[in-house]
């Protein structure tokens, strides 16, 4: 495997290393203990699709075990995490991405740096595999300590308005999805993604696997004239049933889907918004803002490499703007490092390392390095960032920064 690395001793008999086939059952048990039975199908899917070699483990080889780890079936595996290769698309440009998943440390080993050791190892593997971006869908806050921020932008969650008129249109019906629906659902998902500017590709193997072993996830479809025309993936979120992903071919199918979902408990339904899609269109009338949703965490390990990868896209944005004529330079000052982009007559002539300044530089766009993912992936544009973070400055560079790095609508899924 191109991303393999040497085992590293952490002390106390603990060793962080890449997983092997012999670790499979122990990893499975460690994840089950950390995430509960509800996540079992997702762990099985990951092992099936990405293989056990996607994981790294901290193995207790010296009996440093401090709890009943040996009794929970996970044996020597004190902690585990995996790295999956994915493709994120930013305005259609493919960005090779490494997604960290299934970070789990046995209770008796927590707060001793095991998750950090695993994630840092996976970051090194990710760099060797050529990933230009890191992505994590995870619990709040923790990943900020590892250089991540909330990006790309989230999709707000809505609830149904009291009295929203959602009668199933004639000729429509809803039912649970079956494995035979896989191709139809994949097509509906792709169609919905066309409304967003930041998306993640989905592995074709997901749908058949998901529909065969849905676990605690419910997948519903709406049919119109006997054909699948909409679907929703839902799970329980506290007292609510949350539709975290849904798509519909048109407004009639979206209405049928919502009517079906709302049939038993309309007011406990939460639905992730999908602006620009037929479902989003129906939700403009039927939905009411509930919360901001759960954006993923992202990390840009090498700003220069990612900006160079995006050169063609940046050039297209520039060429379509008032900066298409004449010279322009964007200095991105990240306090600890800096990158400069030089452009002439709509063409980017160089993207190169620049000298960082600790003091805020006039004529430069300055932001904390951990906020870079938010800017590059369009979670917020520079003016929005400036409004929420006093460490962000862009005097005299607001318009150019916004032209090159505008806010973007995202529709990204954990898998």
Q: Which residues bind ligand COA (CB under 6 A)?
A: 34, 79, 103-105, 110-116, 138-139, 141-142, 145
DSSP notation for 103-166: EEE-GGGTTSSHHHHHHHHHHHHHHHTT--EEEE--STTGGGGGT-EE-S----EEEEPTT---
**Other C-beta atoms lying within 10 Å of the C-beta of residue 137:** 16
Closest to ligand COA by CB, 58 vs 198, is: 58
CA angle at 369 for the pair 308 and 87, rounded to the nearest 5° = 50
Closest to ligand COA by CB, 105 vs 199, is: 105
Q: Is the dihedral of CA 81, 84, 208, 257 positive or negative?
A: positive
CB of residue 109 vs ligand COA: minimum separation in angstroms?
Answer: 6
Closest to ligand COA by CB, 116 vs 398, is: 116
CB of residue 62 vs ligand COA: minimum separation in angstroms?
Answer: 17
Candidates 296, 254, 255; CA nearest to 149 is: 296
Closest to ligand COA by CB, 31 vs 376, is: 31
DSSP class of residue 185?
A: H
Residues 6+ apart with CB under 8 A from 204: 186
CA angle at 88 for the pair 231 and 355, rounded to the nearest 5° = 150
CB of residue 122 vs ligand COA: minimum separation in angstroms?
Answer: 13
CB of residue 118 vs ligand COA: minimum separation in angstroms?
Answer: 8
Closest to ligand COA by CB, 90 vs 115, is: 115
CB of residue 255 vs ligand COA: minimum separation in angstroms?
Answer: 35
- Whole-angstrom distance, CA of residue 332 vs CA of residue 328: 13
200 in Cβ contact with 206 (< 8 Å): no
Which position's Cβ is nearest ligand COA? 138
CB of residue 110 vs ligand COA: minimum separation in angstroms?
Answer: 3
Closest to ligand COA by CB, 25 vs 120, is: 120
């Amino acid at each position: 495997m191109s991303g393999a690395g040497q085992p590293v001793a952490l002390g106390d008999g603990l060793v962080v290393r890449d997983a092997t086939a012999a670790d499979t059952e122990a990893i499975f048990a460690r994840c089950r203990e950390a995430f509960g039975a509800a996540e079992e199908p997702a762990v099985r899917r990951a092992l099936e699709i990405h293989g056990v070699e996607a994981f790294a483990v901290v193995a207790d080889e010296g009996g440093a075990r401090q709890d009943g780890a040996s009794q929970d079936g996970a044996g020597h595996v004190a902690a585990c995490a995996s790295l999956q290769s994915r493709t994120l698309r930013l305005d259609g440009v493919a960005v090779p991405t490494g997604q960290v998943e299934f970070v789990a440390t046995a209770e008796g080993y927590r707060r001793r740096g095991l998750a950090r050791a695993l994630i840092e190892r996976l970051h090194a593997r990710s760099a060797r595999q050529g990933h230009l971006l890191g992505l994590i869908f995870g619990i709040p806050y923790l990943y900020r300590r590892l250089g991540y921020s909330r990006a790309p932008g989230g999709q707000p969650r809505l609830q149904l308005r009291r009295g929203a008129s959602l009668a199933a249109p004639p000729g429509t019906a809803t039912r649970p999805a079956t494995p035979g629906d896989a191709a139809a659902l994949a097509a509906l998902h792709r169609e919905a993604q066309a409304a967003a500017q930041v998306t993640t590709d989905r592995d074709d193997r997901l749908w058949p696997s998901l529909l065969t072993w849905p676990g605690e996830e419910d997948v519903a479809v709406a049919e119109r004239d006997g054909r699948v025309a909409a679907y929703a993936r839902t799970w329980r979120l506290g007292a609510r049933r949350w539709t975290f992903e849904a798509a519909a071919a048109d407004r009639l199918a979206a209405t049928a889907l919502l009517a079906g979902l709302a049939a038993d408990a309309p007011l406990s339904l939460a639905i992730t918004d999908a602006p620009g899609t037929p479902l989003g269109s129906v939700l403009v009338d039927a939905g009411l803002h509930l919360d901001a949703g759960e954006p993923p965490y992202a990390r840009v390990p090498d700003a220069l490499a990612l900006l160079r990868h995006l050169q063609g896209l940046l050039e297209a944005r520039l060429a379509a703007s008032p900066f298409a004529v004449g010279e322009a330079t964007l200095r991105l000052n990240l306090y600890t490092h800096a990158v400069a982009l030089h452009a002439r007559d709509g063409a980017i002539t160089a993207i190169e390392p620049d000298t960082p300044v600790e003091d805020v530089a006039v004529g430069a766009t300055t932001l904390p390095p951990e906020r870079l993912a938010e800017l590059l992936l369009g979670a917020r544009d520079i003016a929005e960032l400036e409004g929420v973070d006093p460490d962000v400055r862009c005097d005299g560079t607001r318009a150019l920064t916004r032209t090159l790095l505008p806010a973007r609508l995202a529709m990204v899924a954990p898998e």
